[in-house]
A = this chain, B = another copy of it.
């Protein structure tokens, strides 16, 4: 198309709205514009890239024999009540009422709608398996939309669903989709990892993998073993100290916290505990501060009190006293199911609340209010320690803390810490477990030899084994070959299509433009006329333009009355893989040819330029 007609307004400066380089370039190039927080319009350039991504997804879904459907955004609230998600989805769920006062959900995802559809269409095992997908708009009322297309409130998603008769069938559907996702992301030119993940609010009990594009602006941390290739979300990855090193997990498709495949019997009791049970209440401190719990008690000295006025954080402790964070025991007080628990992790580690909640068998835990901390620890946050807990609180000790010879901990009184706090002597190891996020330098829980590296990433896809999470409550069942009614076994598979565009932009962002992978660039060729007043140039440009267009090449012809500098800058922002500059040598039929990312610029005959592009 002719650029003089293109709806595009490029910006010279980074807009204040842009919090990442990729988003900045999408705004500067006139690909997208914000209409409201987290709500974007796609201009012609953005729409072209989006359609190309959609095209790749459609091709790969068809190759995998997945059928395209289209499900509505307006979904009756009753359907979400049947699945139970109307109550549990939370404030991200957008709702609308119709003129009769009936309540609708604006679909953030379509498990309910597709399950209801299959329930009514399919009644026999003969019609299964069925795999369907759609590409469409989703709504999610994010508290903090960010980074343009990365976390929006209205966004484009490809969602797919499989319906099988057996677990083995689900495994097969999952594998087909998993492989299709690899092909899609590879064709999009992304550096990505498939990582073990948690199923989150979608629910379901089976496996789950996240596809994560590596990027420093990503919100997700992923733990990757440098040796065996094991990869998992940092919140999901298994961790262990030296003593607590687990057996290698059995199933590569299962995360640590959801399916405890570790042999924890050797580490004390196993699985969820009832925090109300009297046997689990133990005096964690107070007068018991000096009492000994384990067999090493004889050799241990009493902890040494030292004065730390105004020092309340690990960072302050490290910098004021020249300590290592790894030598400090961090004590955090949580509220869990109405009870108070204390969690000990190393100063350089982060508590993983999901793991804590799962260990305790409660839906969630949250940091305790100050008053509850005071009641449990006798002191406000900053000086809480394991040896001075007042109430009978359950004390959860992370493996890495259990491994410490001795550590530094809060003293349970203002402005004091303790040195020489010894695990199993000064506090109990009765509840030792995996209570933290994976961290850089951890030993790989899979191969037990490699070291874990932590990377930031953008979640671009997610595959879940749902099992009967939706088919049971919605009664989507089929008759098997013995005429027995059984619930369909489901999987669901999502790709954030607009987020994918954002991730590609981040990974391919240069200083002055996005170098789009060839299959995704808004145009294949950018023809730039240096001077529109030079007839030789405009004539040659028209010939190139018409010839390339006839060959099915997507050409953008910069026919604007603008200075060459402006044209070149805009060309960077458009990022076509081929650029042909028609300048002074146009009279001799010579043009400057550039295949971006494949060497420099050459001055060649225009016919040669056509040949190179059309071949």
Give the distance to chain B from A516, nearest Cβ to Cβ, in Å. Answer: 17
CB distance from A125 to the nearest CB of B (A): 12
Q: Is the CB of A47 within 8 A of B33?
A: no
Q: Does A106 reach chain B (CB closer than 8 Å)? A: yes
Is A286 an interface residue when CB atoms closer than 8 A count as contact? Answer: no
A168 within 8 A of B: no
Does A261 belong to the interface (CB within 8 Å)?
Answer: no
Interface residues of A in 1-52 (CB under 8 A from B): 1, 4-9, 30, 33, 35-36, 39-44, 46-48, 50-51
Docked complex: A74-110 residues within 8 A CB-CB of B? 74-76, 91-92, 94-96, 98-99, 102, 104, 106
When the two chains form their complex, are residues A113 and B35 in contact, meaning their CB atoms are under 8 A apart?
A: yes
List the B residue with the shortest CB-CB distance to A102: B36
Residue A278 is within 8 A (CB to CB) of chain B in the complex: no
Q: Taking CB as reference atom, which chain B residue is nearest A120? A: B33
Q: B139, A5: Cβ atoms under 8 Å?
A: no
Closest B residue by C-beta to A67: B44
Q: Is the CB of A75 within 8 A of B35?
A: yes
Task: Return the chain B residue nearest A156 by Cβ.
Answer: B70
Known: A41-B117, A137-B136, A141-B98. A36 touches B67 (CB 8 A): no
Considering only CB atoms, which chain B residue lies closest to A498 in the complex? B70
Chain B residues positioned under 8 Å from A1 (CB to CB): 65, 67
Closest Cβ–Cβ distance, residue A445 to chain B (whole Å)? 38
Q: Is A320 an interface residue (CB 8 A)?
A: no
Q: Who on chain B is nearest to A51 by CB?
A: B68
Does A132 sit within 8 A of B, measured CB to CB?
Answer: yes
A311 to chain B, nearest CB (A): 38
Interface residue A116 (Cβ < 8 Å from any Cβ of B): yes
Q: Give complex CA distance A130, B6 in Å.
A: 8
A102 cross-chain contacts in B, Cβ below 8 A: 36
Binary per-residue interface labels of chain A (569-612) against chain B in the complex, 1 for a CB within 8 Å, 0 otherwise: 00000000000000000000000000000000000000000000
**A545–B449 alpha-carbon span in the complex (Å):** 52
- Are B7 and A130 in contact, CB atoms less than 8 angstroms apart? yes
Q: Which residue of the partner chain, among B33, B70, B73, contacts A117 with CB atoms under 8 Å?
A: B33
Point out the residues of chain B lying under 8 angstroms from A30, CB to CB. 121
Which chain B positions have C-beta within 8 A of A48? 68
> What B residues does A33 contact at CB under 8 A?
117, 120-121
Q: Is A55 an interface residue (CB 8 A)?
A: no
**Given contact pairs A35-B113, A39-B72, a sample of 13 additional A-B residue pairs in the complex whose CB atoms are under 8 Å apart:** A7-B67, A35-B74, A35-B75, A35-B117, A40-B72, A41-B70, A41-B117, A44-B68, A46-B70, A48-B68, A73-B73, A74-B153, A126-B561
Q: Which residues of A contact B (CB under 8 A)?
A: 1, 4-9, 30, 33, 35-36, 39-44, 46-48, 50-51, 65, 67-76, 91-92, 94-96, 98-99, 102, 104, 106, 113, 116-118, 120-122, 126-127, 129-130, 132, 134, 136-137, 139, 141, 143, 153-154, 561
